[in-house]
Amino acid sequence: MADWQQRIRSLAATGWVFLCHLARRYHADGCQTRAAALTYVTLFAVVPLLTLTFAAFSLVPSLGDAGTKIQQLLLDALVPAGNPQVTEYLFDFARRARSLSTAGGLLLVVTTLFMLRTIE
């Protein structure tokens, strides 16, 4: 057998061993569960953060058009494309957050910060 064929077989065997090891470690470390948990926590941290941002922009009427543009930029970056239902829920959540008491608003801020810290 030619030398180059032996090298290709050796590389293929090494690659296969690596992929098997990678799959074993992936399952042993619970990567799928960790990824799901990270997605869940991120979702619950980003929604209050967006709500606070939207509420802050709505409280400062002098921002006017700039606030609307920033909100649209955030929505384009964070909300899946073509999903107006998510946008509707965010705006509804922000509308309800504006009616929070001071203590409720502070609790929302603290919760958001702790969840964002958990992500890092």
**For residue range 87-107, what is the model confidence (pLDDT) as tens digits?**
777 777 767 766 777 787 788
Domain assignment present for 2 = no
Contact between 17 and 94 (Cβ < 8 Å): no
Angle at Cα 50 formed by Cα 44 and Cα 52, nearest 5°? 105
**Is residue 26 assigned to a domain?**
no
Residue 112 inside a domain? The answer is yes
Q: Is residue 21 part of a domain?
A: no
Q: Is residue 38 part of a domain?
A: yes
Q: What is the reported pTM? A: 0.47
Tell me whether residue 65 is in a domain.
Answer: yes
109 vs 55: CA distance, rounded Å: 12
Dist CA 88 CA 19 (whole Å): 43
Please state, rounded to an integer, the average pLDDT across all residues of the chain: 79
pLDDT at 34: 87
Q: Is residue 66 part of a domain?
A: yes
Average pLDDT over residues 10-28: 94
**Any domain includes 19:** no
Count of domains for the chain = 1
Give the range of the structural domain holding residue 78, as residue numbers without chain letter: 32-119
**Encoding tokens for residue 68?**
């609307």
Q: Is 14 exposed, middle or buried (0-12, 13-18, 19+ CB in 10 A)?
A: exposed
Return d(Cα 70, Cα 73) in angstroms, integer: 5
